[in-house]
Amino acid sequence: MSEPDPESGTTSPIDEEALAEAYNRALALEKAGDLDAAAAAYREVLALDPADHGGAAVRLASMGRGETPARASEAYVATLFDQHAGAFESILVDQLGYDVPALTRRALDEVAPGPFSRMLDLGCGTGLAGEILRDIADHITGIDLSETMIEVTDEKEVYDALYVGDAVDFLHHADVEPFDLITATDVLPYLGDLDAFFAGAAELSVDGAVLAFSSETLPDEVLAGRAFMVGPHQRFAHSESYLAEMLARHGFAGLAIGGIVVRHEMGKPVPGHLVIARRKPAD
Ligand SMILES: C[S@@+](CC[C@H](N)C(=O)[O-])C[C@H]1O[C@@H](n2cnc3c(N)ncnc32)[C@H](O)[C@@H]1O
């Protein structure tokens, strides 16, 4: 692994051995409950690997020992889901009861049944949303940071176009026709600040396009007035009022917004929101 050096433009190799030692030490200290020492070790990890393949920044934030980052690093998300792609559906769907693509289909059927000409599935993962929405979308594009997840999706032959890359970057820079359905099921937990996400969704959608997404949340007393924070499992939780603010700011009208159980974690339901919104015509 190597890291680009911003000054010289060259790459300097990461000291993998030192990185593994610091990361394992940090994890062990965190597990033992010595959070201050764990935080110091995670800071060492970040210094050795500024691109943050191990997600040290979200771990620091989840322990209450670091600033809330604006999002999970690209390197972390790609590494995490590359590792889990093979077992993703058996773990998330079969063991953790993840059902958001089906909930999205049901909600769309109720408030915005389509059909749609061009669907964009952001953070498509293994293609569960594409599979369940295939019959109401003529053309489906998927994008995901994890190349291995995209490979699994590709084998299913459900999507018409697939890209490996960052969803927010795609929304702002992709040279493609706009979409009339944009989905993002269980992707917001890897994005904290959603301003660029919603601005991009507005940019790459036609008037009247439908935006369907899910989020995770935490009780009001934990969020304590924050728009978003990193929760105990290193994923971002967003407040419902922040989602509503983002929709309004970027020209989307909410068609349905409701509480859901996103999945189970250690036997407990993980609460979230499912939102279906429509882009208002541009002024
Ligand atoms: C929990 S999975 C959900 C996958 C799929 N949407 C589903 O409902 O089954 C989250 C997916 O989002 C992808 N992801 C997270 N942040 C992303 C980003 N900024 N850009 C592109 N993909 C992202 C991950 O790589 C992963 O495949």
Domain boundaries, the chain: 2-67, 88-279
Q: What pLDDT, on the 0 to 100 scale, is given for residue 267?
A: 86
Q: What pLDDT, on the 0 to 100 scale, is given for residue 5?
A: 44
Long-range contacts of 129-138 (CB under 8 A, 24+ apart): 129/101, 129/104, 129/183, 129/185, 130/156, 130/158, 130/159, 131/101, 131/156, 131/158, 132/101, 132/102, 132/104, 132/105, 133/101, 133/104, 133/105, 133/108, 133/181, 133/183, 134/158, 136/108, 137/181
Q: What pLDDT, on the 0 to 100 scale, is given for residue 12?
A: 63
Give the pocket of ligand 1 (CB within 6 Å): 77, 81, 100-101, 123-125, 128-129, 143-146, 149, 166-168, 185-187, 190-191
Amino acid letter, 272: G
Q: What is the mean pLDDT of the chain?
A: 93
Highest mean pLDDT among 17-21, 96-100, 188-192: 188-192
Contacts of 66 (CB under 8 A, 6+ apart): 39, 42, 57, 60
Token pair in block for residue 98: 């993840």
CA of 214, closest atom in ligand 1: 8
Percent of the chain with pLDDT over 90: 86
- Summarised one tens digit per residue, pLDDT across range 63-86 is 999 899 999 999 999 999 999 998
* Confidence label for 1 from pLDDT (cuts 50, 70 and 90): very low
Which residue out of 92, 124, 144, 150 has the highest number of ligand 1 atoms within 8 Å of its CB and is therefore the one to mutate? 144
Contacts of 45 (CB under 8 A, 6+ apart): 19, 22, 23, 26, 52, 54, 56
27 pLDDT higher than 80: yes
- Average pLDDT estimate for 112-133: 97
Q: Which CATH number fits domain 88-279: 3.40.50.300, 3.40.50.150, 3.40.630.30, 3.20.190.10?
A: 3.40.50.150
Q: What pLDDT, on the 0 to 100 scale, is given for residue 283?
A: 65
- Summarised one tens digit per residue, pLDDT across range 84-108 is 998 988 888 888 889 999 999 999 9
Q: What pLDDT, on the 0 to 100 scale, is given for residue 129?
A: 98
Exposure letters 250-260 (e unless 16+ CB within 10 A, then b): bbbeebeeeeb
Q: What pLDDT, on the 0 to 100 scale, is given for residue 228?
A: 97
